[in-house]
Amino acid sequence: MAVLGLSRRQRHLAWQALLYVVLSAASLVVLLPYIWMVSTSLKPSAEVFTSVPHFIPQSPRWQNYLDVLRTYQVGQWLINSFIVSSIEAAGVVSTSILAGYAFGRLRFWGRDAIFFMYLGAMMVPIQVTLIPSFLIVGWLGWIDTYEGLVVPRIVAFFGVFLMRQFFLNFPSELEDAAFIDGSSRWRALWQIVLPLSMPAVAALSIFSFTAAWNDFLWPLVVVNSEEMKTVQLGLSSMKGELSDWSLIMAGATLSALPLLLLYLVLQQYFVRGVVMSGLKG
């Protein structure tokens, strides 16, 4: 049936064009704060708050990036965040694979009860466990150290849940074939299951790294010195009544770059992982 006298192909093209317009508009809405961030990071301070806002700096000031690195310890904060996020993500992935495999593939007494306890723990907000965790970390002498930042966070219930969901759908025939060939459980996990689980592992790695990179509350309570601040904590402490917003935005842009790179490198795994594990970020 012809609609508005258009052929089927023309209708298809029109629909595609409309779709692209809507998606482009939606992308612009999502990207707008980031564009503004980068734009502001290149403005001289006097240009940040003008009565008529403009996106393109009239005289781009790359010096802001040098200034923010010189004035604040942004370089050190980025290094701290990288160390903390890398170890935390590696820890979360390791513990989640092992626990997720156990919950998804093994049969043992109390398995489901323990898993439901895990699920319950997911519902407890960090604020509830903040002071007990702080006390334990303090007792261990880990206040203001990398250990204090990382160790309490290397088990993530969400990661266990994600990997369990993935392993539940893993074809058992592949494992069974390995067992028939004399493989141990550990070897089957390491050589059969894990290589085929890379999309989920990549997705979890990105989730964990991003969560650690953006974490604010735990670093806030456990870090007591400028040298140990993570980048989010550092950026937040740059904000004040009299702050130079172009420097803050330069710092924010620098802090966003590692996540952007990580996502670009692992993009294909990330998308497949999210689809295969049935979870959205």
Partner 1 sequence: MSERSPKQVDRRMFLMTGSGALATLFAAGCRPQAPATGGAADKVPAKGAEQNAPAAQSAGKTAVLQLWFDIPGSQQEHIKKVNEKFSAENSGIEVRTTVVPIAEMPTKLATAVAGGNPPDLAYLGGPSLASNLIQAGKVESLSKYQKDIATLDWLDPIKRLLTRGDDFYALPVNSGVLGLYYNADLYKKADLHPDKPPATWDDLVKNARAIAKADQQVWGHYIGTKPITWSADQVWIAYLWQAGGEWLTSDEKSAAFNSEAGVEALKFYVDLVHEHKVTPLKAIDNIVSGNDFETGKVGHMQLYPIWVLRAEAMSFPVRTAPMPQHKASAVPLGMGTMPIFSDSKNKEASWTYLSWLMKPENAVFWVSGLGNLPARVSIRDTAAWKEHAAKHPLMQPFLDAQPRARIAYFGKGAQEISTQVGQAIESAVFQRKSPKQALDDAARAADEILAR
Task: Please tell me whether residue 241 binds partner 1 under the rule CB under 8 A.
Answer: yes
Decide if residue 198 touches partner 1 (CB under 8 A).
Answer: yes
Nearer to partner 1, 37 or 114 (CB): 37
For the record, the structure tokens of 47 come out as 């240009």
Find the binding residues for partner 1 in span 49-68 (CB under 8 A): 49-51
Cα–Cα distance measured from residue 269 to residue 250, given in angstroms and rounded to the nearest whole number: 30
Least Cα distance to 93 among 159, 187, 148 occurs for 159
Take residue 265 and report the two structure tokens written for it.
């490198």
Return the residue of 13, 14, 126, 196 that touches partner 1, per CB under 8 A.
196
CB of 221 to partner 1, least distance (A): 4
Q: Is 194 in the site for partner 1 (CB under 8 A)?
A: yes
Q: How far is CA 171 from CA 47, 61, 83, 168, in A?
A: 59, 56, 36, 8
Can you tell me which of 113, 240, 280, 281 binds partner 1, judged by CB under 8 A? 240
Rounded Cα–Cα distance for residues 200 and 204 (Å): 6
**From 178, 189, 233, 254, residue interacting with partner 1 (rule: CB under 8 A):** 233
Tell me the CA distances in angstroms from 72 to 58, 144, 259, one per residue in order: 26, 19, 21
How far is residue 218 CA from its own chain's centroid?
16
**Using CB under 8 A, which of 237, 260, 263, 275 touches partner 1?**
237
Annotate each residue in 119-158 with x if it binds partner 1 (CB under 8 A) or - if it does not, as one string.
-----------xx--xx-xxxxxxxxxx---x--------
